[in-house]
């Protein structure tokens, strides 16, 4: 078992190294959907093939890309599900009609309370580059549930504020199961298509959460029950409630219990419903969070300004959950709450506008390190106009994420990784930022070691 985990780690870490001379190929999952004739169901979560080729003049370019349902490196006889020619698709992208769906998570990570194996684990689909029939490099659609601790020798010395941390925007606004036509009409409400447990298992470590309080919600609490019942708190998209907060808390708690070296950031960023002028409701929420997470909470060092504790410091102390809270008065009342986390929000409606904003924010003048919170997040998604909801019935957040996600992978991989802390996206499986973050952190570690 240990040998297999080590081989997987080496295999995953070497994806970029193996293809360094020519580029790489990777798999993502589309955020788009297609209707099925005469059916309430739709087709979604289809496989995407992505590649970036940049060979030196002395090296011939790969001529074929193949998609498999098993590893072609170890299964030489498997037949491909799809064969592509990179020259026929100069954009470096191809959306297939292969449905990924919501498959069981490998390595025991689907059970939430069973035996779980550390290290990266491949899902069913693999992709490979070939030249004249010879395998050049391959990769898979994979989960990496324990990447921080797996790479502790390289990453342990890095402060939390210097890591590149993959995250999700409006993390609790999801529909995890198969979509129907009715679900897709919530086109401006849902931002993810995997629940928080699955997000964390894939490698997400930052959760963006907006909470509403509903004192008279039906079936919230029976007479005589505890007044701060968690059932009154919901995760919202703006003023619309989407998911019970209890489901998010349960997923985070279960994950931290089984992934014992991982650090998770919960950013309670806004409180759009039920909190205005009601400090007692903030106190109720703080009480619930402390009750549910207890010793797992990492306390901030409010007397120190900088990049925050290193991962080694965090592992030594024991607490691995950072709770940032977007209400200053509440933060002042609890020593274990981290101050509000700064989000770089472009409020952009076009891909060009968003990328210009991100370039200015990430590559512009260095951010001030005087903030009481060493963490900051780039929110890498488009924002619809309010009237889009009425006048663009064929649009929605899935289409907007599709327009952005493919290009984000390459931009962060080539240019933005050095100066990025947290990056949050919609429909995170549509980009490869988890792998990019892991590889970027290894490079950051190597740079830090070289400077010592």
Task: Give the pLDDT confidence of 391-418 residue by residue, as tens digits.
Answer: 666 678 999 999 999 899 999 999 999 9
- CATH number (3.40.50.12780, 3.30.420.10, 1.20.120.140, 3.20.20.190) of 147-215+226-450 reads 3.20.20.190
Q: Are 328 and 311 in contact (CB under 8 A)?
A: no
Rounded to whole angstroms, the Cα distance separating 171 from 301 reads 26
Rounded to whole angstroms, the Cα distance separating 185 from 187 reads 5
Task: Give the pLDDT confidence of 284-322 residue by residue, as tens digits.
Answer: 999 999 999 999 999 999 777 789 999 999 999 989 999
For residues 94-102, give the mean pLDDT: 94
pLDDT score for 176: 72
For residues 227-256, give the mean pLDDT: 92
Within 8 A by CB and 6+ apart from 202, the residues are 143, 144, 145, 194, 428, 429, 434
What are phi and psi for residue 124, nearest 5 degrees? -65, -30
pLDDT score for 344: 95
pLDDT score for 60: 77
Nearest to 429 by CA among 199, 245, 260: 199
Q: Are 98 and 47 in contact (CB under 8 A)?
A: yes
pLDDT over threshold 90, residue 57: no
pLDDT score for 303: 72
Pick 100 or 58 by higher pLDDT. Answer: 100
pLDDT score for 386: 76
pLDDT score for 369: 54
Task: Give the pLDDT confidence of 119-134 residue by residue, as tens digits.
Answer: 999 999 999 999 888 8
Q: Domain extents for the chain? A: 21-143, 147-215+226-450
Task: Give the pLDDT confidence of 318-355 residue by residue, as tens digits.
Answer: 899 999 999 999 999 999 999 999 999 999 999 999 99
Task: Give the pLDDT confidence of 136-185 residue by residue, as tens digits.
Answer: 889 999 999 999 999 999 999 999 999 999 999 999 999 877 777 676 55
Within 8 A by CB and 6+ apart from 223, the residues are none
pLDDT score for 228: 52
Pick 6 or 386 by higher pLDDT. Answer: 386
Rounded to whole angstroms, the Cα distance separating 451 from 280 reads 49
- 134-143/121-131 β-pairing: antiparallel
- What pTM does this model have? 0.92
pLDDT score for 295: 94
Task: Give the pLDDT confidence of 252-276 residue by residue, as tens digits.
Answer: 999 999 999 999 999 999 999 999 9
Share of the chain above pLDDT 70, in %: 87
pLDDT over threshold 60, residue 222: no
Share of the chain above pLDDT 90, in %: 69
pLDDT score for 36: 84
Q: What is the mean pLDDT of the chain?
A: 88
pLDDT over threshold 50, residue 223: no
For residues 186-193, give the mean pLDDT: 90
């Amino acid at each position: 078992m240990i040998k297999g985990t080590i081989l997987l780690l080496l295999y995953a870490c070497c994806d970029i190294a193996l293809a360094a001379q020519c580029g790489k190929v990777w798999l993502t999952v589309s955020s788009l959907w297609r209707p099925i004739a005469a059916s309430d169901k739709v087709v979604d979560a289809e496989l995407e093939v992505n590649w970036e080729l940049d060979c030196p003049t002395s090296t011939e370019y790969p001529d074929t890309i193949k998609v498999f349902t098993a590893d072609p490196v170890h299964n030489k006889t498997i037949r491909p599900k799809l064969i592509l020619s990179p020259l026929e698709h100069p954009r470096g992208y191809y959306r297939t009609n292969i449905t990924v769906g919501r498959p069981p998570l490998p390595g025991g990570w689907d059970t939430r309370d069973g035996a779980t194996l550390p290290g990266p684990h491949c899902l069913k689909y693999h992709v490979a580059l070939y030249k004249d029939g010879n395998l050049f490099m391959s990769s898979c659609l994979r989960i990496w549930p324990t990447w921080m601790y797996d790479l502790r020798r390289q990453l342990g010395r890095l402060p939390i504020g210097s890591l590149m941390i993959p995250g999700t925007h409006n993390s609790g606004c999801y529909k995890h199961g198969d979509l129907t036509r009715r679900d897709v009409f919530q086109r401006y409400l849902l931002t993810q298509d995997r629940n928080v447990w699955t997000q964390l298992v894939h490698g997400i470590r930052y959760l963006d959460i907006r909470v509403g309080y509903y004192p008279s919600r039906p079936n919230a609490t029976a007479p005589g029950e505890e007044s701060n019942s968690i059932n009154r708190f919901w995760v919202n998209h703006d003023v619309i409630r989407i998911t019970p907060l209890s489901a998010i808390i349960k997923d985070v708690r279960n994950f931290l219990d089984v992934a014992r070296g991982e650090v998770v950031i919960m950013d309670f960023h806004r409180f759009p419903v039920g909190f205005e002028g009601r400090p007692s409701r903030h106190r109720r929420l703080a009480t619930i969070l402390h009750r549910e997470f207890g010793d797992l909470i990492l306390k901030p060092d409010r007397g120190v300004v900088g990049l925050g504790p290193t991962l080694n410091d965090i592992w030594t102390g024991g607490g691995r959950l950072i709770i940032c809270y977007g209400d200053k008065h509440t933060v002042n009342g609890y020593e274990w709450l981290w101050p509000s986390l700064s989000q770089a929000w472009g409020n952009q409606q076009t891909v060009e506008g968003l990328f210009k904003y991100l370039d200015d924010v990430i590559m512009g003048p260095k951010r001030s390190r005087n903030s009481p919170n060493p963490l900051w997040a780039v929110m890498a998604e488009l924002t619809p106009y309010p009237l889009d909801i009425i006048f663009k019935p064929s649009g929605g957040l899935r289409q907007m994420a599709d327009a952005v996600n493919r290009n984000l992978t390459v931009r962060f991989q080539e240019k933005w990784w050095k100066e990025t802390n947290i990056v949050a996206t919609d429909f995170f499986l549509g980009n490869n930022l988890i792998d990019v973050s892991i590889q970027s952190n290894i490079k950051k570690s190597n740079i830090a070691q070289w400077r010592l």
